[in-house]
Structure 1
Amino acid sequence: MLLSAREGLLVVVDMQARLVPVLADPDSLSARVQFLLRAAAQLSVPVLASEQYPKGLGHTVQEVADYLPEGAVVQKMTFSAMREPAFREALETGGAGRRQAVVCGAETHVCVLQTAAELVAAGYATTLVADAVGSRRASDRTAGLDRLRDLGCQVATSEMVVFEWLERAGTDAFRRLAPLIK
């Protein structure tokens, strides 16, 4: 099944100040998450973001936070955002009945994995964005991606997601996003 901007929502997991810098290739990760957030804004795709224990891990890194909609962030103590009642409530109200979840963030093998797996279990068609998830070790990232495939997640790249959301060239949204595609 292809992704649809009308059916989709973007979930940004734990892109936090004390976590992102220690991940493999943090600059590329942040750039891909920003790209997804900019596309979501252009295409009216709702966004939810989580912060794991911000007292210890800090808040969302500024370069990502700059693109988050007002009120998108839910703080959590559970590794899966889906186990946080405030996140589930925001998903139900802010997601407006949308059933396609596109997931990015950190760390692939912990909070991203648990959140995405529980989105699948809750009936969401869930896509993990391979170039917009990160872990400290490459082996953990790879194992997380493999396990999520086994658990029923689709795996795509950020460009795949955005082009599927766009559906066609020649639109105003395409013209606005085209300069971001490198």
Structure 2
Amino acid sequence: MTEDLSKFWLSAEKAVLVVVDVQERLVPAMDAIVYARVRKSIGLLLQGAEILQVPVIATEQYPRGLGHTVPELAAACRDGAVEKVSFGCCGDGGFVDRLGALDRPQVIVTGMEAHVCVYQTVLGLLEGGYNVHLVRDAICSRGKTDFLTGVENAARAGATVTTAEMALFQMLRAAGTPEFKAVSALIKEM
């Protein structure tokens, strides 16, 4: 019997992009080169989400202490951020309500830190029955071991590990559309 591969597919009509805690006072703790790559990948996904009409939910962990979403990404998170104090986004009623109202079963997860808020969000989403796609080049942690462990455990728990470009091309499905041309142009700019 063939393995069910449905969890590996993404659809623009079924997906939500989640940007977890990319905040002003948390960014300086990240390696500058790694963060620049992550910010670029998240930016690509946000622009692609706009083209493909994929809703976006951003979160902010205790913004009084960690500040707000970095300005480079905040404008693209058009519906504002859900404030939270729980590490995992699913521990916050505001996030759960906003996600549930969208009625989309696929969640594309980005943000920081991979081994804390991102990882706990992935677990909560999987427990909630969501099909989770963790974007490896759009997450980071302060330390490489924590990053690798967060990604490995998320995959073992059932998340599909992907990249920004992979996720976008999956949602496009085919060339020759105006959306394909727009997303391809974004990728070429990277």
Range of TM-score over shorter length: over 0.9
Please list, as runs of the form range in 1=range in 2, the aligned pairs for 1:20-99 lying within 5 A after superposition: 20-24=27-31, 25-71=34-80, 73-93=81-101, 95=102, 97-99=103-105
1:13 aligns with 2:20: yes
Q: Please state how far the C-alpha of 1:175 moved relative to its aligned partner.
A: 1.1
Q: Structure 1 length normalisation: TM-score?
A: 0.96
Q: What code does the residue aligned with 2:123 have?
A: A
Cα distance in 1 between the residues matched to 2:41 and 2:94: 26
Cα distance in 1 between the residues matched to 2:137 and 2:28: 16
Say which of 172, 176, 181 aligns to 1:170.
Answer: 176
Cα distance in 1 between the residues matched to 2:79 and 2:20: 16
Cα distance in 1 between the residues matched to 2:151 and 2:182: 31
Q: Please state how far the C-alpha of 1:21 moved relative to its aligned partner.
A: 2.7
Offset from partner CA, 1:60-99 (integer Å, 9 cap, x none): 001111211133x100000011010111111111x2x110
Paired-residue identity, %: 42
After TM superposition, what 4+ stretches of structure 1 lie above 6 angstroms from structure 2?
none
Query: How many residues were matched structurally?
Result: 179
Aligned to 2:135: 129
Q: Please state how far the C-alpha of 1:178 moved relative to its aligned partner.
A: 1.3
Rg: which structure is higher? 2
Secondary structure of the 1:109 match is coil
Cα distance in 1 between the residues matched to 2:166 and 2:123: 21
Cα distance in 1 between the residues matched to 2:160 and 2:35: 23
Q: What code does the residue aligned with 2:180 have?
A: F
Q: Please state how far the C-alpha of 1:16 moved relative to its aligned partner.
A: 0.3
Q: What code does the residue aligned with 1:87 have?
A: F
Cα distance in 2 between the residues matched to 1:166 and 1:69: 22
Q: What code does the residue aligned with 2:78 have?
A: P
Q: Please state how far the C-alpha of 1:150 moved relative to its aligned partner.
A: 1.0
Contact 2:56 2:79 in 1 (8 A): no
Cα distance in 1 between the residues matched to 2:36 and 2:44: 12
